[in-house]
Amino acid sequence: MNSLEKTERRPLRIDLSRTFIRRTDLSNANLEGANLSYADCQNAIFRRVNFKDANLEGTILRGADLSDSFNLTRAQLDKAIIDETTILPAYLRT
Amino acid sequence: MKQYWVSLSEIIRNIGLVIGGAIGIYLAWKRVVASNKQADAQLRQAEMSRRNHVTELFNRAVGQLKDEKLEIRVGAILTLGQVCTDFRDLSSPVIRLLTTYLQQEKSDYGEIDAPADIGEIIRIIALMSQKPPEGTYE
């Protein structure tokens, strides 16, 4: 079986590192394992997004809407740049 | 004596029928095999045509991504999005191409809404991320 005939299904590897994607809408995306390091996502919308194992190092999330996103951890957020305008999912609002 | 010849002729006739039937079955089987081979060849040909068509679409869209007119770039991105949807095995390389475009054409548009090309790429990424590709170029 050559590389074109692989049939296994796995999530897309999404590399949005160092991109400028302010005010874009990634709602419902599956960002499992995605690389968003140092991306400028200011005021972007991430509703109902799966952040499992996503790399958020240095990701600018000021004003971003992360409501109802899931598999997002405090450890991931600690590496990102957020402020009081960032809308966090309910389970991380403490 | 007459009975003997009648029996013999019946035996010969039956043997002839069996041989004739066997030959008929053999010829039918050969025909089925030939038809299957022809169908396989047609499938391979169709797959090659499909690949050529998508490659042409892909190359044209890649060339247009650098166009200075926004509408041309958006058209190219929409074409690539359609390639993703119609040819799921190509979604991985297309997404990689689009994310590379975002990284290379990093434009600081400040506090205004994202330009149409950036917004469309993000929409495609969000959509395709929900559907794992079926076999990918890796």
Domain boundaries in chain B?
A: 2-129
**Is B104 part of the contact surface with chain A (CB cutoff 8 Å)?**
no
Q: Is A87 on the interface with B (CB under 8 A)?
A: no
Residue range B57-84: mean pLDDT, rounded = 93
Choosing among 2.160.20.80, 3.40.50.2300, 2.70.70.10, 3.60.15.10, the CATH entry for A12-89 is 2.160.20.80
Continuous H helices in chain B: 2-64, 70-86, 91-104, 116-129
pLDDT, tens only, A4-39: 444 455 677 899 999 999 999 999 999 999 999 999
Among B111, B119, B130, the residue with its CB nearest the CB of A24 is B119
Note the pLDDT of residue B86.
Answer: 87
More confident site: B106 or A87:
A87
DSSP secondary structure string for all residues of A50-77:
B-TT-B-TT-B-TT-B-TT-BS--HHHH
pLDDT (tens digit per residue) in B4-63: 889 999 999 999 999 999 999 999 999 999 999 999 999 999 989 988 988 898 999 999
Task: Decide if A73 touches B, using CB distance below 8 A.
Answer: no
What integer pLDDT is reported at residue A94 of this predicted model? 72
How many A/B residue pairs have CB atoms within 8 Å?
85
Please give the model's pTM, rounded to 2 decimal places.
0.77
The residues spanned by each domain of chain A are 12-89
Q: Return the pLDDT at B137.
A: 44
